[in-house]
Chains A and B, each alone.
Chain A
């Protein structure tokens, strides 16, 4: 790794949590440009906390976090963040296109309105995510899959070099989840992607590197997970989690077998 191209994300010995209770312990992670990393782990295992630390929303208690080789607060406006759709108030009076426009906030200063260039980017990402026909609908009245696409469009409107997704298919109809991953695979041609999920099946079929997170992170790059790590991470038999395909968790033909 030369100085000209530092890792996209570099965490070293990071501990973080809330009210002096550590949710993450000694997390070390290095993501190279162009990678598609899936971090899996049980609910409550610290996945969202990991994202909050990488995005600089939560300060780590110890360790260092660098994004593009810099402190995250200096570069985070070039990170596209896709939160869980469950976090949103569905009665909020806002149209899909207004949500997507938020991706341009970092490009415009305070007190200046979105301009023509912003609108062009917004139009383009609406196109890319197949949301053009839903632009003027109320965000809360979209289906789960459409809301997810709107949030991905918003992250793309940032024109990001890193895309960070929190459970991108939670609350999305299973028949539509494939489409979301196809979209991410397409985006991965130009953007580095980090995704966290509790859904083992989808991770194996779509990502380039896998990590297992439950307070501590097992991550060695690549798709291979050492024997026993999954059981340890989830605290129960993987057999149970993957519905009886314990030894075929990570080979490539897993599409549609997710839990």
Chain B
């Protein structure tokens, strides 16, 4: 199987999987511990509106996705903060409306729409080297934020009220976090596609939380798990000629089930 490293696209694919796993491990841990899974899935789907806008208006659809996902993240974040009830309905509507807008804009666009499926289901085998640098940059920003604001982010995730009383700028940090979720979602779009983003964002941290007693370790473990899942998924998809995004997600899901079984047998977290 070593011949796969001879292809540049395969080397780039593996590198993309590793880079995305770092952002996933850190941001995904916040998403899982803050119960933002539904919101994050909504952000991912709403981002499709940006893809459509990019096609329609003739600019890079990834830029459209960035704009839409960050806007959706901030909007949903603000709604969740302000309202007390029924936020899931509003989020569900933004989720579907964003997606529908994207579909209609693409309908209205003339001509051949080449890599449309790639945005929905991932196109890890077509990651240009330039994108790897962008992923690396985002990883650096995310890890730096997580290190600098670790104690505040931990406090907000565990007990927001207490953090607020201790004069932590809860709302500002929360919105920064939402922006990072939006950017991470777009970065992951390359690897597993918008539709499956949520699984790769949440499964590694969910497993990580089962086996750690410290949020920092959860993030580190989740990042490594993500790397393992993307790599195995990629190799499986290459060997059997399967869709790589779906292969990565199924590998992750099987691992999650196994982790739940192991954990229920009562092994203490370390």
Contact = CB atoms under 8 A, between A and B. Distances in A.
Interface string A105-145: 11010110110000000000000000000001110000000
Interface in A60-119: 76-77, 79, 81, 83, 87-89, 91-95, 98-99, 101-103, 105-106, 108, 110-111, 113-114
Given A113-B151, A114-B151, A154 B165 contact: no
Interface string B151-187: 1101101110111111111000000000000000000
B109 interface: no
Contacts of B167: 76-77, 105-106
A158 interface: yes
B196 interface: no
Interface residues of B, number: 30
Contacts of B213: 93-95, 136-138
Nearest to B218: A93
Contacts of B33: 89, 92-93
B166 A102 contact: yes
Nearest to B211: A93
Contact of B162 (A52, A56, A94, A154): A154
Contacts of B162: 81, 83, 102, 154
Nearest to A107: B166
Interface residues of A, number: 36
Interface in B196-252: 208-210, 212-215, 217-218
A111 B148 contact: yes
Given A93-B214, A111-B149, A102 B161 contact: no
B269 interface: yes
A91 B148 CA distance: 25
A113 B149 CA distance: 9
A102 B158 CA distance: 10
6 contacts: A52-B161, A77-B165, A83-B162, A88-B159, A92-B33, A137-B213
Pairs A-B, 5 closest by C-beta atoms: A106-B166, A105-B166, A93-B212, A93-B218, A138-B213
